[in-house]
Amino acid sequence: MGRTSLTGYEVRRRLRSRYLRWRTEQHRETVIRYLDELAPVLEELEWRCVRTDRPEIARVGQPLLRIHGEGVVTTLNVLAVPKGGWGFHEAAKGRGGFLFPCGGDVAHAAQVVDRFLRAREEDARWGVPRPREGS
């Protein structure tokens, strides 16, 4: 029993995904502003942050924030979310890596990211394997 046409649900899901991708691409300044607000707060928590939205640093299609610590490195980005919002995401996981909504308390967002990275450091210290991407 194969599918021969798209259902209304699948059409709406695909349109929503494309619309969110389009919003993220069209509002590059908003994405950069949220990453620029988060980076200094993370640096106060002793994380080293490298912004990749500057062409002199690295040329990438989407602005990213690389965060370095002892034994852990991750990359964050900001993506549009439904209902007009924005959210911090782990870049490797895309929309599945949602961490915290943007636009509110930046200090609280930094604490959430800090706890996430500290848990990663702890896993790396004890040799706990991370699940593979896509599984």
CA–CA dist 116, 47 (Å, integer): 12
**Residues contacting residue 36 through CB under 8 Å, at least 6 positions apart:** 51
- What type of residue sits at position 52? T
How many residues are given for the chain?
135
Query: Which residue, among 103, 86, 90, 83, has the nearest Cα to 131 in the 3D structure?
Result: 90
pLDDT tens-digit readout, 100-132? 999 888 999 999 999 999 988 887 777 666 665
Q: What is the pLDDT of residue 133?
A: 54
Q: Is the pLDDT score of 4 beyond 60?
A: no
Helices 106-126 and 28-44, interaxial angle, to 10°? 60
